[in-house]
Amino acid sequence: MKNSTEMTQFILLGLTNALEWQVPLFTMFTVIYLITLTGNLEIIVLTLLDFHLHTSVYFLLSDLSLVDLCYSSAVIPTVVTGCITVDRIISYNACAAQVFFFVAFAPVESYLLASMAYDHYATVCKPLHYTTTVTTAVCACLAIDSYVCGFLNASIHAGNTFCLSFCVSNVVQHFFCDVPAVMALSCSDRHVSELVLVYVVSFNIIFALLVILISYIFIFITILKMHSASGYKKAISTCASHLTAVSIFCGTIISMYLQPSSSHSMDTDKMASVFYTMIIPMLNPVVYSLRNKEVKIVFLKVVLEANYL
């Protein structure tokens, strides 16, 4: 028999308890969130409005922007609110919902990044067959499969986490309800739960990285065979932004979830979490689309038409 009390709420510690940092952090996170909303919504709206962007690459980019919006919105409002309130209380159900939606959209991002690597492979290595290889139907299947895997992943992690008993402390050593931080509060044996977390996250990351790695091996082989300087530069510019985003996203996820719980440092985890919950969703529109010539042309066209009306 367990002598435990049903947990009804959790307390989030936030990034820091220093009062002098609360206003600067509130300002910074609010600005980051507004930029994230503006940039990602812009990509989605422009892709929907202009038929020139109704292609496979922009379909995947708009999906990526939607995912960035969703999983940053699952976290940043809680963080911003915590910066201006004395008590950072979150209910049990709200904590479970935050875990579910964040853990749902994070793997969707990794699978979409893998899909984009395949798209880059088709663009660079099979340019003559691109329109028949990467069709609208193929992109739709890739996106749907990504969402299905993400929500299946969320169901596993949320159920795996909240089936544990919480009877010792309700203070989450984090600025949002993340799986390792919530698991650390359990008074029941969490060895199996931690193994499930590591195995499922490992599968998601390794599978996505394998697709990306194989795609880029073929891409680099093709680039080395290129004799045209313009073709070489175009291929490099196509892949550089994607590789940067993959490195930051996967690196922080690996440092968070694929290390033993005994070696976890909450301060380190918090800083890593800032990157993949706030910085990456903000930067993705810049590194992927806002530097793209076609998107700039469509944006100016929409602005001019709006001013004319």
CATH number at residue 224: 1.20.1070.10
Query: What is the spatial distance between Cα 218 and Cα 133, in angstroms, rounded to a whole number?
Result: 16
Q: Calculate the average pLDDT of the chain.
A: 81
Token pair 């875990």 in the structure block, residue: 99
For the segment 255-273, what is each residue's pLDDT rounded down to a tens digit? 665 555 555 556 666 777 7
Check residues 203 and 293 and name the one with the higher pLDDT: 203
Q: Give the domain range for residue 78.
A: 9-308
Is 174 a member of any domain?
yes
Token pair 């986490």 in the structure block, residue: 161
- Indicate the Cα dihedral angle 119, 121, 123, 127, nearest 10°: -130
Query: What is the spatial distance between Cα 203 and Cα 237, in angstroms, rounded to a whole number?
Result: 29
Is 4 a member of any domain?
no
Start-end of H helices in the chain: 22-49, 56-73, 76-84, 92-125, 130-133, 136-162, 179-183, 191-225, 229-257, 266-274, 280-284, 293-308
Q: Is the pLDDT at 80 greater than 70, yes or no?
A: yes
Is 268 a member of any domain?
yes
For the segment 92-142, what is each residue's pLDDT rounded down to a tens digit? 999 999 999 999 998 898 899 899 889 888 888 888 888 888 888 888 999
For the segment 186-241, what is each residue's pLDDT rounded down to a tens digit? 888 888 888 888 888 888 888 988 998 898 888 888 887 776 666 666 666 666 66
Q: Is the pLDDT at 274 greater than 50, yes or no?
A: yes
Is 303 a member of any domain?
yes
Instruction: Count the Cβ atoms, other than its own, within 10 Å of residue 200.
Output: 18
Is 1 a member of any domain?
no
Is 99 a member of any domain?
yes
Overall number of domains in the chain:
1
pLDDT band at 303 (very low <50, low <70, confident <90, very high): low
Query: What is the spatial distance between Cα 59 and Cα 62, in angstroms, rounded to a whole number?
Result: 5
Is 299 a member of any domain?
yes
Asked if residue 110 lies in contact with residue 67, where contact means CB atoms within 8 angstroms, the answer is no
